[in-house]
Amino acid sequence: MNTFVAQVDATTLSYLHTQLTPYIVATPQYAVFQAKTQHTTITAYKSGKVVLQGKFAQQIAEKFQLTSSLSPCASNTSSVLPKQFSIWSVMGSDEVGTGSYLGPVVVASAFVDKKTIPLLQQAGVQDSKNLSDTAIRELSQFLKQNIPYKTLTVSPEKYNETHNTYNMNQIKALLHNRALYLLSTKIDHHFIDAYLIDEFCAKKTYYRYVADEEQVIEDRVYFATKGESHHIAVAAASIIARAAFLDYLDTLSTEFGMTIPSGAGEQSDVVAANILQRYGLDGLKRIAKLHFANTEKVFQLAGLPKTDWLHVHQLFQ
């Protein structure tokens, strides 16, 4: 089956919604809408991701002038990892928060010397996606006491400013490179066998994104999807990043006096609408990634006119 994946902004998403209205079918959970036309299914998500699957996926994407978010990020360019890579001394990096409407984007790097691997394994270090929030917080504390790490946090406010100039993958690339570089300055280079980046775009694209940076980590760098399954350093980085993300949500929750959830579902919209009503756009900017399609829904929920939303939208595209 042909598949085409695009990342679009909120305006394009509403445009697609309007154009495809006659073809809308039952909306799956987490989707904004799903349409079936010409042997092809089009599913749009709140994050702005649009997936076209079927015979005419490519043609329909072209008709709507959608650009693929996968082609520069295809995983077939992944580095082939050397044998025994998992027992090397590796510095890994991972990011959290890019799919969450509320809260920051956090990238962490972590260095795991081969001698420390068994200690981390015994402690239960693994992909943060398989761990409860409580376990993540505990393991993060443990890791911070036992291995060198670096976290970089982009507040929603900063993210909204930056998103005018850079796309999400570019922001990620800059953060990964910076987190790896900053940590590398604290460690004798002879101890680092390799760097492993949890892959989110092709190596070539990644290096295009960081080309203007003063310091670029490019020697002994490997990219792999499901990085945490190839080396525990990426799992450690994912845990540290996730714990920092949760802490940030906690701080926002205390500050705004309500629970700020992660994810991009109903609950996030309701909370965001509440903040928008109470604190206005300045409040919303401080908790939400405004380019997500959720923002339009949030304005509706808050009972604010669409013209207000369009105004905001222009500011943040």
Q: Which is nearer to Mn ion, 248 or 309 (CB)?
A: 248
Closest approach, Cβ 227 to Mn ion, in A, equals 7
Instruction: Encode burial over 305-314: b for 16+ CB neighbours within 10 A, e otherwise.
Output: eeeebeebbe
Closest approach, Cβ 42 to Mn ion, in A, equals 26
Closest approach, Cβ 234 to Mn ion, in A, equals 8
Q: Which is nearer to Mn ion, 41 or 78 (CB)?
A: 78
Over its C-alpha atoms, the chain yields an Rg (Å, rounded) of 21
Q: Which is nearer to Mn ion, 217 or 241 (CB)?
A: 241
Closest approach, Cβ 94 to Mn ion, in A, equals 4
Sequence-distant (6+) residues with CB within 8 A of 40 are 52, 53, 54, 55, 56, 57, 60
Closest approach, Cβ 127 to Mn ion, in A, equals 9
Q: Which is nearer to Mn ion, 94 or 296 (CB)?
A: 94
Q: Which is nearer to Mn ion, 113 or 198 (CB)?
A: 198
Q: Which is nearer to Mn ion, 35 or 237 (CB)?
A: 237
Interacting residues with Mn ion (CB under 5 A): 94, 198
Closest approach, Cβ 92 to Mn ion, in A, equals 10
Measured from each CB, the residue nearest to Mn ion is 198
